[in-house]
Structure 1
Amino acid sequence: MHTPHAHRRLALIDLGTNTFHLLIVEISKTPGEKPLVILRTKAGVRLGEGGISQGIIAPAAYDRALHTLAGFKEEMELHEVTEVRATATSAMRVTKNGPELVRDIFEQTGIQVNVIPGEREAELICQGVRQAVDLGEDAQLIMDIGGGSVEFIIANQHTIFWKQSFEIGAQRLLDKFFPDPSGVFPAEAVEAEQRYLSTVLEPLIEAVRRYHPASLVGASGSFDSLADMQLGRLRTEGELPPCTELALESFQTSYRQLLSGNHEQRKALPGILPMRADMLVVAAVLIDFVLGITEITRIRTSAYALKEGLLAEMLVV
């Protein structure tokens, strides 16, 4: 017999193009009390690998997704979750068989996945980041590099001034500019990516001119990895502080190391998840490009993003 909880146990699932995240929290009946984190975990699913640039989820990635969600379901049962919120982003938004995967997930796990548009994704990311980083009164540039899409938000602690989602995530950039991931990323590939970004990111360049963001706040995996590289070791999901200052010199050193090595050397860098070794190269080129167009010198990373934004929104209701 279960004794009924005096609490709601809520699972928040973020099905990203690279990584699936699961956050389980207990929400107290006492108003104003902060939710208690029961479990925070993630799995590298790489849903976009081998297909996102063709508009499909490849069979191996499809299977990894179902396998991962079966595991999440076990965790949810183990921790007696009473409510679930699952959102999916770029890979499921744009692929032909995304809807089929949503159906299979529901049939196999009972988890109902809500596929959200890029604008909504940007909004939730901003909400999540605000829980981790005090944005203050000045406009800041928030950036979340996913596998499928990249969100940019210019906001302060109260207001979103501008936001846009671009389908230029790390898996897509890898497919486009890095056909041989075993080798070094050549200078001409860096230049090609930068030229491409200067065209695609014209709306961002305009917005930056208009709002002059004071600093960069990076959410999601690539920024966590760069913060780990600065520290010189890989941290678990539970170890990440909500906010880390990423020194500009540290970013520049990491960027040089990433560009100079081949795949094996990149994998061996302290603080790197093997799955991110190549994606981090194209992501770092993107970050460097953004630093160039904004002349920003202060970078902070936020361990919170979309799922924390969902949670914050639900607590307000």
Structure 2
Amino acid sequence: MKVRKFAAIDIGSNAIRLLVNNVIEEKGKKTVFTKSELVRVPVRLGEDSFTVGEISEDNEERIIKSMKAFRLLMDVNRVEKYMACATSAMREANNGMEIIEKVQREAGIKIDLIDGKREAEIIASTDLKQLIQKDQAYLYIDVGGGSTEFTLFNEGVIKVSKSFKLGTVRLLNNMVGDATWKKLEDWIKQHTADLERISIIGSGGNINKLHKMSGRKEGQHLSYVWLNAQYNFLNSLTYEDRISELGLNTDRADVIIPATRIFLMATKWSGAKKIFVPKIGLSDGIIKSLYFSAS
């Protein structure tokens, strides 16, 4: 038996994450991927990038310190290979490239700037295909702080995908107009109109948290009715109540509401009855991509 270690760094608009995975190889058996370590740092880059166009000195310092810590954690875990990806907040910041170069100099970590299409491709390399049945259609939705990726699967393959600047941090800062919502509605209805059976596959920390709050077991789906009721319930509480009564993290207690709204609207416009939450995302896709490219 051989145990290899790979790491993924996801620099998002709401948080920065390090995932370290054990990859267990044993002759005659299927390769097993297990989580070894997950660190999440609530650096909300989107509030800088989307509102003032650049990342503040304070958040720049927090990014560099986080990356130095991640570098040490990868070293002590003896990580064989890593990949660090930054999405919309870093892409749209005027000083994004400057910070990326500084991180490489000071922390020794190379960061790749990826767009929505590349992000969808990486996520598609996860165990997503094991969930997808060929006789059904699925709308995969990955909600982020700056953007949301939509990918339509039909007959087991990707038919179309699109990224919309419709993220939780943008919504919190009132930076999404009616025109963006209308474009999303038109896109979903256009591509799902002829599909009789369609389900949602949800990705991201917010839908994972919602699934956990529902009390459903792993593999059990959420319904539109439950999600709508939960949306109304969350909206009835103050930000402070969501933290004290529901135990939500300070950087989750606000973004969970706009995230729920995105899933609700997409479910309504697509006519989907079920929302599956496999708890996979960009970091999991990075690990799989690294492993298969290194094998």
TM exceeding 0.5 = yes
1:214 and 2:198 are equivalent in the alignment: yes
Task: Kindly provide the CA deviation profile for residues 272-312 of structure 1, in whole angstroms up to 9, marking residues without a partner as x.
Answer: 22212121122222222112211212111121111212222
- Structure 1 window deviating more from structure 2 (280-289 vs 32-41): it is 32-41
SS for the counterpart of 1:14 is: strand
- Structure 1 window deviating more from structure 2 (148-157 vs 206-215): it is 206-215
Q: Is the 2:188–2:270 contact (alpha carbons within 8 Å) kept by the matching residues of 1?
A: no
Go from structure 1 to structure 2 and tell me whether the alpha carbon gap of 1:228 and 1:8 turns closer, same or farther (over 3 Å shift): closer
State the TM-score, normalizing by the size of structure 1. 0.82
1:297 and 2:295 are equivalent in the alignment: no
Alpha-carbon separation, structure 1, partners of 2:272 and 2:170: 26
1:267 and 2:243 are equivalent in the alignment: yes
Task: Kindly provide the CA deviation profile for residues 202-242 of structure 1, in whole angstroms up to 9, marking residues without a partner as x.
Answer: 3233222254561111101110121132139xxxxxxx95x
Alpha-carbon separation, structure 1, partners of 2:155 and 2:285: 13
1:55 and 2:53 are equivalent in the alignment: yes
Go from structure 1 to structure 2 and tell me whether the alpha carbon gap of 1:6 and 1:287 turns closer, same or farther (over 3 Å shift): closer
Shift of 1:256: 0.6
Shift of 1:140: 0.5
Shift of 1:200: 4.6
Question: What amino acid sits opposite 1:302 in the alignment?
Answer: P
Go from structure 1 to structure 2 and tell me whether the alpha carbon gap of 1:20 and 1:313 turns closer, same or farther (over 3 Å shift): same
Task: Report the equivalent of 2:89.
Answer: 91
Question: What amino acid sits opposite 1:134 in the alignment?
Answer: L
Task: Report the equivalent of 1:204.
Answer: 188
Alpha-carbon separation, structure 2, partners of 1:306 and 1:156: 21
Aligned length: 290
Question: What amino acid sits opposite 1:270 in the alignment?
Answer: L
Question: What amino acid sits opposite 2:251 in the alignment?
Answer: M
Provide structure 1 residue ranges, at least 5 long, that are not aligned to the other structure.
Answer: 178-191, 233-239
- Pairs within 5 Å for 1:203-242: 203-211=187-195, 214-231=198-215
Task: Report the equivalent of 1:15.
Answer: 11
State the TM-score, normalizing by the size of structure 2. 0.87
Go from structure 1 to structure 2 and tell me whether the alpha carbon gap of 1:215 and 1:78 turns closer, same or farther (over 3 Å shift): same
Q: CA RMSD in A?
A: 2.7
1:307 and 2:291 are equivalent in the alignment: no
- Structure 1 window deviating more from structure 2 (136-145 vs 121-130): it is 121-130
Alpha-carbon separation, structure 2, partners of 1:117 and 1:265: 36
Task: Report the equivalent of 1:187.
Answer: none
Task: Report the equivalent of 2:133.
Answer: 136
Q: Is the 2:6–2:20 contact (alpha carbons within 8 Å) kept by the matching residues of 1?
A: yes
Go from structure 1 to structure 2 and tell me whether the alpha carbon gap of 1:292 and 1:7 turns closer, same or farther (over 3 Å shift): closer
Go from structure 1 to structure 2 and tell me whether the alpha carbon gap of 1:127 and 1:263 turns closer, same or farther (over 3 Å shift): same
Go from structure 1 to structure 2 and tell me whether the alpha carbon gap of 1:114 and 1:247 turns closer, same or farther (over 3 Å shift): same
Task: Report the equivalent of 1:235.
Answer: none
Alpha-carbon separation, structure 1, partners of 2:179 and 2:115: 27
Task: Report the equivalent of 2:113.
Answer: 115
Task: Kindly provide the CA deviation profile for residues 135-194 of structure 1, in whole angstroms up to 9, marking residues without a partner as x.
Answer: 1111101101100110011115841111111121111111116xxxxxxxxxxxxxx966
Alpha-carbon separation, structure 2, partners of 1:63 and 1:161: 41
Question: What amino acid sits opposite 1:226 in the alignment?
Answer: L
SS for the counterpart of 1:87 is: strand
Alpha-carbon separation, structure 2, partners of 1:158 and 1:77: 39
Shift of 1:316: 3.5
Go from structure 1 to structure 2 and tell me whether the alpha carbon gap of 1:111 and 1:208 turns closer, same or farther (over 3 Å shift): same
Task: Kindly provide the CA deviation profile for residues 77-107 of structure 1, in whole angstroms up to 9, marking residues without a partner as x.
Answer: 2211122111111111221111111111111
Task: Report the equivalent of 1:281.
Answer: 257
